[in-house]
Amino acid sequence: MSNALERINLQIMWERLIAVVEEQGQTLMRAAFSPIVRESGDLSAGIFDLQGRMMAQAVTGTPGHINTMAASVNHFIEHFPPETMAPGDIYLTNDPWMGAGHLNDFVLAKPCFLDGRLIGLNSCTSHLADIGGRSFGPDAADVHEEGIYIPPIKLVDKGAINETLMAMLWANSRVPVQNEGDIYALIACCEVGEERLSTMMKEFGLNTLDGLSDHIIETSRSATLERIRAWPNGTWQSEMMVDGYDFEIKIVAAMTITDDDLSIDFAGSSGRSRYGINCPLTYSQAYTVFGLKCIVAPDIPNNAGALEPFIVTAPEGSIMNAQKPAPVVMRHIVGQLLPDAAFGCLHQAAPGKVPAEGTSVLWDLSLRGGFGHHQGANQTQFAIELVHNGGTGGRPQGDGLDATAYPSGVMGSQVEMTESTAPMIVWRRELRPDSGGPGRYRGGHGQIIEIGSSEEAPFQLAAALDRIVYPARGREGGKDGASGIVRLSSGIPLNGKGEQDIPPDDRLWVETPGGGGYGDPAERNPAALAADLRNGLVTSEAAQEHYALASKD
């Protein structure tokens, strides 16, 4: 085969791999019971070679799942050496330091066989709504209070499911039916991946993935290094403050670019919290690298080769590298802000290439009712996690995005799904005027959400919300986005963190934050400002205050 034909063949095989992993992801979404997976896409799926290197990942998924999964398969290989793997085996763990950063994320890995020979592995991750403990909130003192902890274990042994493990999971959840359904969806994801991978290899006459894997990973690594070398060499530092829980958190990032790699070190950042907002290092690495890659090498496929040139470190015991058994269930509070810290460094290295800060942190509303002191004779027992988003930062060439989850990519919970899966009524869900930071390109807007019980019964919010004290900062003269607000509809304020009751005669009122603006507001295009006024996104009062010069033009 000529060199040109060989490259065409490799490209076709690469596209088939992407089709395989995306079908895995879609299988998981279609089969999942939990709305956060089925509707919001909080998952990952990928194919790995026998060295544990991620070859391809599904387009559907979150960086916190995908980039941690890229490292977790190596842990499975260490615990289950290839010579012990058998057809029909599937492995599972929710160890936060081996998997996706907290106990609610279950990571599965399945050895893939072709004609009886081990050829690679596939893996997937998704979020389970409730796995016991103090529920999905930040108030636990250590990881053991946060739910059932599962080390790497065989979920399926040569086709036979581990009934003991399933019984334990059933007994330790407030929503056992959802959990069981989600686990079977994960299994289906793995099985579809193996079937489609073996079919593809037969079509192309492959007996091994080694050559294809080497090509994919080396090509991606070389292309990523080429993108890094287009940036200036040097070291830059940025700092940001975030709300925290027991104390305000300082994030310090030092970025160094050389011809061989791009590294970020978080030395000097705050130490670990006593509450569950700490990050295992693998989660900090996942989101930091994702943010860097979005700016430096956005066109390079995400695999082991593309990830290798990015190095992220943090001192042990810091909030970005909390050691077991630190509580970590709400690790997204810090982890999803790390791209903004990285952008602060990239902006200094090459101004004009990164957006302003955004909300960044998902505004998860972890709600439950009918348990403990909320238990009532006629009250439905439920535990649900609603995902809502704020605005992203204004960009060098355009406005920020409204109510959009960056960097997580998780889609917002839909009203119909919320009301069909829990005894809740969503009374209001609309864009929040004036929440996007003013600028030449304004920040994206947040949302106003009002939720109450449909049974006139109390329910509980386990809050883990941020950007309430410290809003998203503008860049290049742009102004800050609006801070988030959480309160009762009656006006009584609620805390951004911790377990709180919503009375039966009141409602939960949430205003998600807006993204920071980019550039001088006086330079905003008058037509863009007029459109915002016409659409009710900017009030006339805010236009006069922040866009006075633009409104005079």
- pLDDT tens per residue across all 553 residues of the chain: 567 667 888 889 999 999 999 999 999 999 999 999 999 999 999 999 999 999 999 988 899 999 999 999 999 999 999 999 999 999 999 999 999 999 999 999 999 999 999 999 999 999 998 999 987 889 999 999 999 999 999 999 999 999 999 999 999 999 999 999 999 999 999 999 999 999 999 999 999 999 999 999 999 999 999 999 999 999 999 999 999 999 999 999 999 999 999 999 999 999 999 999 999 999 999 999 999 999 999 999 999 999 999 999 999 999 999 999 999 999 999 999 999 999 999 999 999 999 999 999 999 999 999 987 666 657 899 999 999 999 999 999 999 999 999 999 999 999 999 999 999 999 999 999 999 999 999 999 999 999 999 998 999 999 999 999 999 999 999 999 999 999 999 999 999 999 999 999 999 999 999 999 999 999 999 999 999 999 999 999 999 999 974 444 3
Q: How far apart are CA 525 and CA 47, in angstroms?
A: 46
Show Cβ contacts of residue 401 under 8 Å, excluding neighbours closer than 6 positions: 391, 392, 444, 515
Q: Where in the chain is the domain with CATH 3.30.450?
A: 3-208
Give the pLDDT score at 3.
76
Give the pLDDT score at 9.
87
Q: How far apart are CA 216 and CA 225, in angstroms?
A: 14
Q: For residue 467, which phi and psi values (nearest 5 degrees)?
A: 65, 30
Q: Contact at 8 Å (CB) between 178 and 129? A: yes
Give the pLDDT score at 553.
39
pTM exceeds 0.85, yes or no: yes
Q: CATH top-level class for 3-208?
A: alpha beta
The distance between the two most distant Cα atoms of the chain, rounded to a whole number of Å, is: 75
Give the pLDDT score at 548.
75
Based on DSSP, count helices (H) and strands (E) in the chain, helices before strands. Answer: 14, 19
Give the pLDDT score at 2.
61
Is 230 exposed, middle or buried, given 0-12, 13-18 or 19+ CB atoms closer than 10 A? exposed
Q: How far apart are CA 54 and CA 66, in angstroms?
A: 10
Q: For residue 524, which phi and psi values (nearest 5 degrees)?
A: -65, 140
Q: Contact at 8 Å (CB) between 63 and 408? A: yes
β pairing state of 160-161 and 153-157: antiparallel
Q: How far apart are CA 37 and CA 8, in angstroms?
A: 36
Give the pLDDT score at 60.
87
Give the pLDDT score at 58.
93
